[in-house]
Amino acid sequence: MKKILRYTLYLAFALVIENEIWGNLSFSPRLETIIKVALILAIFELVLKPIIKILLLPITLLTLGLVRIIINTLGLYLATFLISGFSVHSLTLFNYPLNNFLAYLFTSFIISTLLYIFKKL
């Protein structure tokens, strides 16, 4: 329980920081939705992600670990599917528009990087 709360706090900070830097996330009621999304992502990170990693181990070995980025993107898709007030919009990176899947991929990469930094602090 303590670990879920810690991950929820880390992910809530990561969501806020990512939104302040890139501005491609929208939260309908701001604080409630951020907490709900962080809780969904924390449960995904601690419960579902290890199971998916074991199931996709052969593909992970073949792609030298690149499937892990897709697994994180799946968690972000799950959060947008379960929470109606949360969405990921397109963004522009170096004059290149990132739409749909690429926007989710980039956003999940940034959130995962921030989560890694918070866990190491």
Dihedral pair phi/psi, residue 23, rounded to 5° = 70, 30
Is pLDDT at 121 greater than 90 in this prediction? no
The Cα 44–Cα 41 span in angstroms is 5
Is pLDDT at 105 greater than 90 in this prediction? yes
Confidence tier at 29 by pLDDT (50, 70, 90): confident
Please tell me what DSSP assigns to residue 95: T
Between the two ends of the chain, the Cα-to-Cα distance in Å is: 20
Is pLDDT at 59 greater than 90 in this prediction? yes
The structure's pTM equals 0.90
Confidence tier at 30 by pLDDT (50, 70, 90): confident
Is pLDDT at 65 greater than 90 in this prediction? no
CB proximity list for 78: less than 8 A, separation 6 or greater: 40, 44, 48
Within 13 Å and on the Cβ side, how many CA atoms surround 83? 26
Written as one string, the DSSP assignment of 22-65 is: H--EEESSHHHHHHHHHHHHHHIIIIIHHHHHHHTHHHHHHTTT
Is there a contact between 118 and 55 (Cβ–Cβ < 8 Å)? no
List, in sequence order, every residue forming a beta bridge with 98; answer none if it has no partner.
Answer: 91
Say what percent of the chain tops pLDDT 70.
Answer: 100
